[in-house]
Amino acid sequence: MKLNKNFLTLFIIVLIIYSAFAYLSLTNRPAEEFFVLSMLNQEKKAGEFFPNNNSTIKINEKIVWYISIASYFRTPKVVKIVVKLGNNETIVPNSTLGTPSNGTELYNWLIYITYGETKLFYFEWEILDVKMINETYYLKLQLNQSIIVDVNQVGAFKGKNFRMIFELWTLDPTTQKFIIGWNFQQQLRIAWLQQKFNVTLEK
């Protein structure tokens, strides 16, 4: 019986110490600040991002997406959303290395966003023409009905596995330069999205 009482006493002491440690760990830890980057379809819903839910796109077929960003930073931030075109070999953003995608930049939005705020951006794009060199497709794109971009740096064999990439960049208050992602407690966080698609020459 005495052994059981000693064990119970020791167990209670350990439990109290553990609870105190857990409480201090949680209360002393600053709440993480972050952004949420997401994509919606033309009906402002998640999923079915391509017409008829078919990611093989024809020339002159309009695609409409909405890019959403929500801020959970206690201070206002200057943010840039960068749109890039890539292919199956394109390097994606890497938070460990602190590197963005090496895709070709097509478009960007520059915004000012405050705590608890969510902003939504309309993004319409279509393929105006395809240039084919040795069965590799290169795209001529129209963005938001006004900007025309000939993308000669990024091609895809037989039009397979193109990628539309969206990256979140922030203005670093120390250097006054944009960096991909944001820093929290000396660690880099990166938010990015991608949609893969194929291109067909069929009408």
- Pair (63, 91) in one structural domain: yes
Q: Supply the CATH number for residue 61's domain.
A: 2.60.40.10
pLDDT digits (tens, 9 = 90+) for 81-110: 999 999 999 999 998 898 999 999 999 999
- Pair (147, 174) in one structural domain: yes
The model carries a pTM of 0.83
Q: Name residues whose C-beta falls within 8 Å of residue 101's C-beta, 6 or more positions apart in sequence.
A: 84, 86, 90, 91, 92, 93, 165, 167, 192
- Counted domains in the chain: 2
pLDDT digits (tens, 9 = 90+) for 47-76: 999 999 999 999 999 999 999 999 999 999
- Pair (20, 40) in one structural domain: no
By residue range, what is the domain housing residue 25? Answer: 1-30
- Pair (72, 13) in one structural domain: no
- Pair (62, 110) in one structural domain: yes
